Amino acid sequence: MPLEADVLAAFPAEVQIPAELVADAVAASSAASPRVLVVLDDDPTGTQSVADLPVLTRWDVADFTWAFAHIRENQTKPAVYVLTNTRSLDAAEAAARNEEIVRNALAAAGSSETESGSAGSSLRLGFVSRSDSTLRGHYPLEPDVIAATVAAVSGEATDGVVIIPAFPDAGRVTIGGVHYMRGTGEEAGTLTPVAETEFAKDASFGFANSEMAKYVEEKSQGRFAADSVIVLDLNVIRASTDPHISAKAIADAIESATDSTPIVADIVSENDLRALSLGLEEAERRGKKLLYRVGPPFVRARIGQEIRAQLSGEEAYAGNTPSEAGGLIVVGSHVGVTTRQLKALTEQHRAARIVEIDVEKLLGDSAAGYLDETVDKVVEALRGGDVIVHTSRLLIKTDDAAESLRIARTVSAAVVAVVNRTLKTFPPRFVIAKGGITSSDVAAHGLEIRHAIVRGPMLPGIVSLWEPVDGPAKGIPYIVFAGNVGDDQSLADVTRKLSNTF
């Protein structure tokens, strides 16, 4: 494994760029015609890098109208997240959902133009396809569908698809066109190409290449050859100590993009993301039409939002009176870091009751009766303190991608049923959901959240807190915790902030 310091030695030093510089550039371009980024998030963990933005788990025209009005009335940063959960869907379902969301967003933006009442103030939309920082998900399907739908509705062609999976807060960086995971613990300071990690072996979305241009060729099945991909390495991102000069260099480098040309960029830090954002703003000012396929922190940098400090327990409950019931911690992810985090939590939180959901029983003939027993156990345990509900750690695997998704959905549906029936019987003090598909389904169906505000991260740069603004979970802090982030203590740390028995 190479050392990060050695890999970076070939490139210019990082340039400090304040978020305000990006925010000013965005505001200037929106002065005559406001623009909002619509973030189609394939699981809800994309919100962990932002704060005080609206989140939708439904996408009717009326839902977008609510979100756009919230942004306008509260003068928040110009972005809304839409929880698509498409990473849990097959390709045809994912395509249909992307198209529906884009059409409804554009329709709502059109009605916003009428409501605004002033000439020249029409609401422009930019689209972000938010996916996994370890390269799992429906690529290039999702950006393809978004681009095609925008063209069909508005006649506007996409010149370039900007692919930025980097997530420095979680140890995912791109250097020299290669996407890496940073080592932790004894391996701190090292880099592992992402294709050599467990994530590349994903049953549904596995891949073989860590070099981003080759990854694009692999996933597009040769439609985009590696040598056709525009690569913005750190020599371009850090072209000058003057951010305006670097912005022009970035815009110049993507001038040739046309017909959804893939564009990838090196990113090691938030400053690199801000430098890139300034360059993309300049390119769009020149007339380039861009679509984004990104990891979690890109949107924060692109809209010029400061990094929000982690929330305290008091801030998590601000404006609400916490229940005396126990909290509910739901763990569905099976990646290695989640299993280690679960182990640390159960070892340290001796007061918590543990309820395991046996996946084999869920797939058997007596699943309904088994679910009834599980709900009864959870409700009774919540009366005395926190409850940790997790699926059995034995992962039932199959070589059939469709069957893998079916099993995942069955398990997730059971988890959702346990949460929903518990909520309506004995509401918990807080809910933490661990894992992307798990946290999506728990939000939309288990807690019946339709509209929420993401308030900020529970740990530095990761793990978001949502405040539900409607439905039966209103007033209950909901914590969205990705399966593949944090160290072994992170789940225990977040639970400790919220619990009254830990």
pLDDT digits over 91-143, tens only? 999 999 999 999 999 999 997 654 444 434 579 999 999 999 999 999 999 99
Residue 485 has pLDDT above 50, yes or no: yes
For residue 362, CA distances in Å to 237, 338, 372 come to 50, 21, 12
Residue 58 has pLDDT above 60, yes or no: yes
> Is 383 buried (19+), middle (13-18) or exposed (0-12) by CB count in 10 A?
exposed
- Mean pLDDT of the region 40-52: 91
**Residue 227 lies inside a defined structural domain of this protein:** yes
**Cβ-proximal residues to 358 (8 Å cutoff; 6+ apart), any chain:** 370, 392
pLDDT digits (tens, 9 = 90+) for 214-224: 999 999 999 99
CB 332 within 8 A of CB 412: yes
For residue 32, CA distances in Å to 28, 61, 132, 288, 489 come to 8, 24, 34, 18, 48
> How much is the pLDDT for 119?
39
| Residue written as token pair 């997240």 | 81
**Residue 325 lies inside a defined structural domain of this protein:** yes
For residue 472, CA distances in Å to 103, 196, 333, 435 come to 29, 43, 25, 22
Q: Which CATH number do you get for residue 341?
A: 3.40.980.20
- 379 C-beta neighbours (distance < 10 Å), count: 17
Could you tell me the pLDDT band of residue 437, with boundaries at 50, 70 and 90?
A: confident
**319 and 297 share one domain:** no
**293 and 370 share one domain:** no
Pairing of strands 178-182, 172-175: antiparallel
**293 and 338 share one domain:** no
**349 and 420 share one domain:** yes
CB 22 within 8 A of CB 80: no
As beta bridge partners, residue 393 has none
Structural domains counted in the chain:
2
Domain boundary among 274, 302, 330: 302
Could you tell me the pLDDT band of residue 393, with boundaries at 50, 70 and 90?
A: low
Could you tell me the pLDDT band of residue 44, with boundaries at 50, 70 and 90?
A: confident
> How much is the pLDDT for 116?
43
> How much is the pLDDT for 118?
42
User: What is the percent of the chain where pLDDT is above 90?
Assistant: 80
> How much is the pLDDT for 203?
85
**335 and 483 share one domain:** yes
| Residue written as token pair 């959870």 | 378
pLDDT digits (tens, 9 = 90+) for 201-210: 998 899 999 9
For residue 42, CA distances in Å to 39, 220, 293, 407 come to 9, 19, 11, 18
**Residue 309 lies inside a defined structural domain of this protein:** no
Report helix, strand or coil for 388.
Answer: strand
Distance linking the first and last C-alpha atoms of the chain: 39
Domain boundary among 302, 328, 351: 302
**326 and 283 share one domain:** no
Could you tell me which of 288, 293, 359, 316 has the C-alpha nearest to residue 478?
A: 316
Half-sphere exposure of 417 toward its Cβ, with a 13 Å CA cutoff? 18
> How much is the pLDDT for 468?
95
Domain boundary among 302, 335, 367: 302
pLDDT digits (tens, 9 = 90+) for 249-280: 999 999 999 999 999 999 999 999 999 999 99
CB 238 within 8 A of CB 13: yes
**Residue 210 lies inside a defined structural domain of this protein:** yes
Pairing of strands 290-294, 353-357: unpaired
**Cβ-proximal residues to 179 (8 Å cutoff; 6+ apart), any chain:** 135, 165, 166, 172, 173, 193, 194, 210, 211, 212, 215
**Cβ-proximal residues to 193 (8 Å cutoff; 6+ apart), any chain:** 178, 179, 180, 210
**363 and 250 share one domain:** no
Tokens of 408: 């995942």
**111 and 260 share one domain:** yes
Rounded CA separation 272/235 (Å): 11
**Residue 476 lies inside a defined structural domain of this protein:** yes
For residue 407, CA distances in Å to 89, 139, 203, 280, 425 come to 12, 22, 12, 41, 27
**270 and 344 share one domain:** no
Rounded CA separation 97/85 (Å): 9
**290 and 239 share one domain:** yes
- Mean pLDDT of the region 458-484: 93
Q: In what order do the strands lie in the sheet with 172-175?
A: 172-175, 178-182, 191-193
**Cβ-proximal residues to 144 (8 Å cutoff; 6+ apart), any chain:** 260
Q: Which CATH number do you get for residue 222?
A: 3.40.50.10840
Which of 181-190, 249-258, 490-499 has the least mean pLDDT? 181-190
**362 and 259 share one domain:** no
**Residue 176 lies inside a defined structural domain of this protein:** yes
> Is 70 buried (19+), middle (13-18) or exposed (0-12) by CB count in 10 A?
middle
**Residue 132 lies inside a defined structural domain of this protein:** yes
For residue 495, CA distances in Å to 50, 227, 432, 498 come to 20, 47, 8, 5
Rounded CA separation 229/378 (Å): 51
**Domain encompassing residue 455:** 315-498
**25 and 53 share one domain:** yes
| Residue written as token pair 């992170």 | 490
Rounded CA separation 298/131 (Å): 11
CB 111 within 8 A of CB 61: yes
> How much is the pLDDT for 112?
60
**Residue 310 lies inside a defined structural domain of this protein:** no
The 3-class secondary structure across 162-182, one letter per residue, is EEECCEHHHCEEEECCEEEEE
> Is 242 buried (19+), middle (13-18) or exposed (0-12) by CB count in 10 A?
exposed
